[in-house]
Chain A
Amino acid sequence: SQTIHQWPATLVQPVGSPLSLECTVEGTSNPNLYWYRQAAGRGLQLLFYSVGIGQISSEVPQNLSASRPQDRQFILSSKKLLLSDSGFYLCASDRGLNTGELFFGEGSRLTVL
């Protein structure tokens, strides 16, 4: 079965510091990968998606970037964090069959102070 790992689980960073959140997927090949953010108030917003190694698409302009160095690795980064980057970040993957059904990792909670 498919497993999605994210780390770190919790992160507290000062404004202006860099960020790296990592996501790895097990149990599937050639998945489409996604980064979602959940801000206060429960809504989830799609930030980035990737259909293959080195292929990144951004849904919204922002202070963050994403990279996919390997088939089952997806990284969310920032060079300088803003207060507004605080939130709960969720990595998601499909089954690698382009079915659209998504599975989520455990999430990474980021607090920018």
Chain B
Amino acid sequence: GIQVEQSPPDLILQEGANSTLRCNFSDSVNNLQWFHQNPWGQLINLFYIPSGTKQNGRLSATTVATERYSLLYISSSQTTDSGVYFCAVERYGRGSTLGRLYFGRGTQLTVWP
């Protein structure tokens, strides 16, 4: 399977700070998603971004598929941004399961007031 590495594993910020989370993957992929796992455990979709750049409010993401990485930017962080951020990728191909996501181990973000 594809290896997905996220960095940093843990991040502690003061409210208002900016941050960049990174996701590296070991092979070419067809899809990439960023999720936020809230304190209750639910995975919330942030971005579906196999390539290019997208923005949603204070969050934006960029995927450079040819270089096998994606970045998640959080600006003006708030305490509600705390939680675990996951990157997950999918690769099509013979023997692959559609929708079979390979997850990184996540970045635990803690934002202090």
Contact = CB atoms under 8 A, between A and B. Distances in A.
Interface of A: 32, 34, 38, 41-44, 46, 49, 51, 57, 59, 88, 90, 92, 94, 98-107, 109
Contact of B99 (A42, A43, A44, A102): A102
Contact of B41 (A32, A94, A109): A109
A101 B100 contact: no
A107 B42 contact: yes
A70 to B, nearest CB: 19
B90 to A, nearest CB: 5
The 4 closest A-B pairs by CB, nearest first: A104-B43, A44-B103, A107-B41, A100-B31
Contacts of A57: 97
Interface of B: 30-31, 33, 35, 40-43, 45, 48, 84, 86, 88, 90, 92, 97-101, 103, 105-106, 108
In this complex, the member of A44, A90, A104, A107 whose beta carbon has the largest number of chain B beta carbons within 10 angstroms is A44
B99 A100 contact: yes
Contacts of B97: 46, 49, 57, 59
Given A99-B31, A100-B30, 19 more contacts: A32-B98, A34-B100, A42-B84, A42-B86, A44-B88, A44-B101, A46-B101, A98-B98, A100-B31, A100-B92, A100-B99, A101-B45, A101-B48, A102-B88, A102-B99, A104-B35, A104-B42, A104-B45, A105-B42
A99 B86 CA distance: 19
B41 A103 contact: no
A45 to B, nearest CB: 8
A66 to B, nearest CB: 14
22 contacts: A34-B99, A42-B108, A43-B105, A44-B88, A46-B97, A49-B97, A49-B99, A49-B100, A51-B98, A59-B100, A90-B41, A94-B99, A100-B31, A102-B33, A102-B88, A102-B99, A102-B101, A103-B45, A104-B35, A104-B45, A106-B42, A107-B41
